Chains A and B, each alone.
Chain A
Amino acid sequence: MSPDRTAARLLRLYPPSWRRRYGGELETLILDMSGGGRVPWRIRADVAATGGRERLRAAGLGGDSPDARVRGGASLVLWAWALFVVAGAIVQKTSEHWQQALPAGSHIATTVAFASLIGVAVAAGVLVVAGIALTLPALTRCVGAGGWAQIRRPVTRAVAITAGFVVATAGLVAWAHGLSPRDRQGHDTAYALLATVWALFGAGTLGAWTLAATRTAARLTLPASLLRVEARLATAVTATLGVMAAVTAVWWVSVATVAPPALTGSLGSRGSAFVPQLVLAMVLMLAALGLAGAGARRATRALPHLAGDD
Chain B
Amino acid sequence: MIVRSRHDEATAGRSNDPPVLILTSLAAGEKHGYALLQDIEDFAGVRLGPGTLYGAISRLEERGLIEAVGASGRRRPYRLSPAGAEALRVALDGLRAIVDVGSARLAGRPAAVSPAGSAA
**A residues bordering B, Cβ < 8 Å?**
18, 21-22, 24-30, 32-33, 42-43, 45-51, 53-54, 64-66, 301, 305
27 pairs, CB–CB < 8 Å, chain A vs chain B:
A21-B58, A22-B57, A22-B58, A24-B73, A24-B74, A25-B32, A25-B54, A25-B73, A26-B33, A26-B50, A27-B74, A28-B33, A29-B54, A30-B50, A32-B33, A33-B37, A46-B49, A46-B50, A47-B49, A47-B50, A48-B51, A49-B51, A50-B52, A54-B58, A64-B4, A65-B8, A305-B7
**B residues bordering A, Cβ < 8 Å?**
4, 6-9, 32-34, 37, 49-55, 57-59, 72-76
Q: Is the pair B34, A33 in contact by a Cβ cutoff of 8 Å?
A: yes
Instruction: Enumerate chain A residues within 8 angstroms of B72, measured Cβ to Cβ.
Output: 24
Chain B nearest CB from A188 CB (Å) reads 52
Chain B nearest CB from A250 CB (Å) reads 38
Instruction: Enumerate chain B residues within 8 angstroms of A45, measured Cβ to Cβ.
Output: 49
Cα(A281)–Cα(B117), bound, Å: 64
Cα(A124)–Cα(B82), bound, Å: 47
**A51-B51 contact given A25-B33, A28-B33, A65-B8, CB 8 Å threshold:** yes
Chain B nearest CB from A232 CB (Å) reads 20
Q: Is the pair A46, B8 in contact by a Cβ cutoff of 8 Å?
A: no
Cα(A26)–Cα(B50), bound, Å: 7
3 tightest CB-CB pairs across the interface, nearest first? A46-B49, A50-B51, A47-B51
Chain A nearest CB from B18 CB (Å) reads 10
- B5 to chain A: closest residue by CB: A64
Q: Is the pair A22, B51 in contact by a Cβ cutoff of 8 Å?
A: no
Instruction: Enumerate chain A residues within 8 angstroms of B52, measured Cβ to Cβ.
Output: 46, 50
**A64-B8 contact given A25-B33, A33-B34, CB 8 Å threshold:** yes
Instruction: Enumerate chain B residues within 8 angstroms of A21, measured Cβ to Cβ.
Output: 58
Q: For A29, give its contact among B6, B8, B53, B73 (CB under 8 Å).
A: B53
**A29-B7 contact given A22-B58, A46-B51, A50-B54, CB 8 Å threshold:** no
Q: Is the pair B9, A26 in contact by a Cβ cutoff of 8 Å?
A: no
Q: Is the pair A50, B55 in contact by a Cβ cutoff of 8 Å?
A: yes
Instruction: Enumerate chain B residues within 8 angstroms of A46, measured Cβ to Cβ.
Output: 49-52
Q: Is the pair B6, A305 in contact by a Cβ cutoff of 8 Å?
A: yes
Cα(A54)–Cα(B54), bound, Å: 10
Cα(A305)–Cα(B74), bound, Å: 37
Cα(A66)–Cα(B53), bound, Å: 21
Instruction: Enumerate chain A residues within 8 angstroms of B8, measured Cβ to Cβ.
Output: 64-66, 305
Instruction: Enumerate chain B residues within 8 angstroms of A66, measured Cβ to Cβ.
Output: 8
Instruction: Enumerate chain A residues within 8 angstroms of B57, measured Cβ to Cβ.
Output: 22
Cα(A149)–Cα(B54), bound, Å: 26
Q: Is the pair A25, B74 in contact by a Cβ cutoff of 8 Å?
A: yes
